[in-house]
Chains A and B, each alone.
Chain A
Amino acid sequence: MLKYIVRRLLMLIPVLLGVILVVFTLMYITPGDPVDSLLGDNATPEAREALREELGLNGGYFQRFYNYITRLLRGDMGICYATNLNVATRIAQTFPNTVKLATFAVVFAVILGLSFGVISAIKQYSFLDNLVMSVSMIGVSMPSFWCGLLLMLLFCVQLNWLPASGFDSFACVILPGVSLGLNSAASIARMTRSSMLEVIRQDYISTARAKGQSEFRVIMDHALKNALIPVITTVGMQFGLLLGGAVLIESIFSIPGVGKMMVDAIKARNYPIVQGGVLVIALAFCLVNLVVDILYAYVDPRIRSQYK
Chain B
Amino acid sequence: MNGDKLLEIKNLTVHYESFDATVHAVENLNLSLRHGETLGLVGETGAGKTTTVKSVMRILPDPPAKIVSGEILFDGQDLLKLSVKEMRKIRGKQISMIFQDPMTSLNPVMTVAEQIAEVIRLHEKCSKKDAHKKACDMLELVGIRPERGSDYPHQFSGGMKQRVVIAMALACNPRFLIADEPTTALDVTIQAQVLELMKRLKAQYQTAMIMITHDLGIVADICDYVAIMYAGEVVEYGTREHIFNHTGHPYTRGLFACIPDIFTDQNELEPINGLTPDPTQLPEGCRFHPRCPHATERCAKEHPENIELAPGHFVACHLANKGGNENA
Contact = CB atoms under 8 A, between A and B. Distances in A.
Q: Choose among A202, A208, A226, A300 the residue with the greatest number of B CB atoms under 10 Å from its CB.
A: A208
Interface in A203-251: 203-204, 206-215, 222, 225-226
B99 A206 contact: yes
Contacts of B154: 301-302, 305
Most buried by A among B96, B100, B119: B119
B168 interface: yes
Interface stretch (B104-112, B209-217, B235-243, B286-294): B104-112
A1 B105 CA distance: 28
A127 to B, nearest CB: 14
**Which of A204, A212, A299 has the largest count of B CB atoms less than 10 A from its CB?**
A212
A299 B108 CA distance: 10
B57 interface: yes
Contacts of A226: 107-109
Nearest to A200: B61
B285 to A, nearest CB: 35
B217 to A, nearest CB: 25
Interface string B145-176: 00000001011000000000100100000000
A11 to B, nearest CB: 27
B82 to A, nearest CB: 12
Contacts of A202: 104
Range for the number of chain B residues in contact with chain A:
20 to 34
B228 to A, nearest CB: 25
A301 B59 CA distance: 28
A211 B99 CA distance: 12
Interface string B124-164: 00000000000000000000000000001011000000000
A208 B154 CA distance: 18
B118 A211 contact: yes
A212 B109 contact: no
8 contacts: A207-B97, A207-B99, A209-B59, A212-B89, A212-B123, A213-B88, A215-B84, A222-B110
Interface of B: 54, 57, 59, 61, 63, 84, 88-93, 96-97, 99-101, 104-110, 118-119, 122-123, 152, 154-155, 165, 168
Given A209-B57, A305-B152, 20 more contacts: A203-B99, A203-B100, A204-B106, A207-B105, A210-B57, A210-B99, A211-B118, A211-B119, A211-B168, A212-B89, A212-B122, A213-B88, A213-B122, A215-B84, A226-B107, A226-B108, A299-B109, A300-B109, A301-B152, A301-B154
